Chains A and B, each alone.
Chain A
Amino acid sequence: MPTQRDTPSPDARFSAEAQALLARRRLRFELRELGLVAAGAVPGALLRWQAEVQLGPWLGGAAGANLLVNLVGSFVLGVLAGPIPRRTSLVLWLGIGFCGSLTTFSSWMLDTAGLFQAGHPGSALALVLGSLALGLLAAALGLACSRRLFRRRSEPSA
């Protein structure tokens, strides 16, 4: 027990035990975070992959399917960015895990480069500008929905 605060060296045994306890706590905390992120990441990635496989032929290939999932993810994350009753676990699972995995930046760039190389610079430019504009719109729409839905509920007297 640290009865003397001016003791130069702390009790080595106590310090080791405290550190072991802290390490166990940190491990448990990180495992919980990993579980939450993974629980969102797996359905997100599977949905993105299946959107490409199933909806790709109707949406003009992988680029259209990727754009669709990117817009859906931006909308959901826009809702999360609003005044909803936010919890760390919800942000980890739905925001970082699900939305982060559902949407993809690298495939968007690969689709764009592919259109360039195939000799469709106009389509590539349209994909870049369209994704930027629609992505911002989807995020803004999500944020607006969140504000309208949750502000009313959380501040009935204000």
Chain B
Amino acid sequence: MADPSLHSALLVAFGAIPGAWLRFRLVNHFEPMVPRKHWATFGVNITACFSLGLITALERACGPRPQLGLLLGVGFLGSFSTFSTFSVELLLAWLAGARRQALALMLGSVLCGLLALSLGLQLGA
């Protein structure tokens, strides 16, 4: 590649577009099926954690793949998972008086996220 930084930027961008698009479509699709809207985002984030664990473990096992990391890790999964929607939905649930739901979402997201990530790390190792 003539310009490595342009090449890297393109990898991140090409990962980001399907990542964000898939998140949008999945959340739209599953929103009517879950009891509360924020569990759709929860599912997306947990899936992303598992996949990131898998990719990280595969990278550790097969040697570093910086291009794959940029495309899938930074671009795709970074865009697929989202923190801003999580924190805003948490805030809105709390402000709406659904304190128990908000607590469940907060604890569930962190615990399931870490669990899914370590599951991916274990499976990929």
Contact = CB atoms under 8 A, between A and B. Distances in A.
Interface string A89-114: 00010001101111111111110110
Interface in B13-64: 13, 15-17, 19-21, 23-24, 45, 48-49, 51-53, 56
Interface size classification for chain B: 35 or more
B20 A40 contact: yes
Interface stretch (A3-11, A16-24, A42-50, A149-157): A42-50
Interface of B: 8-9, 12-13, 15-17, 19-21, 23-24, 45, 48-49, 51-53, 56, 70, 73-75, 77-88, 90-92, 94, 106, 109-110, 113-114, 116-118, 121
Contact of A105 (B12, B56, B86): B86
Given A41-B79, A99-B84, A139 B91 contact: yes
Contacts of B109: 105
A33 B12 CA distance: 20
A132 B85 CA distance: 12
A42 B79 CA distance: 9
Interface size classification for chain A: 35 or more
Contacts of B12: 45-46, 49
B106 to A, nearest CB: 6
Interface string A65-107: 0000010011011100100000000001000110111111111
A27 interface: no
A73 B82 CA distance: 9
B56 A110 contact: yes
Interface of A: 33-34, 37-38, 40-42, 44-46, 48-49, 52, 70, 73-74, 76-78, 81, 92, 96-97, 99-110, 112-113, 128, 131-132, 135-136, 138-140, 143
A81 B92 contact: yes
A41 B70 CA distance: 15
Lowest 4 A-B CB distances belong to which pairs? A45-B16, A41-B20, A73-B84, A135-B87
A139 B82 contact: no
A113 B24 contact: no
**Most B C-beta atoms less than 10 A away, residue of A41, A128, A135:** A41
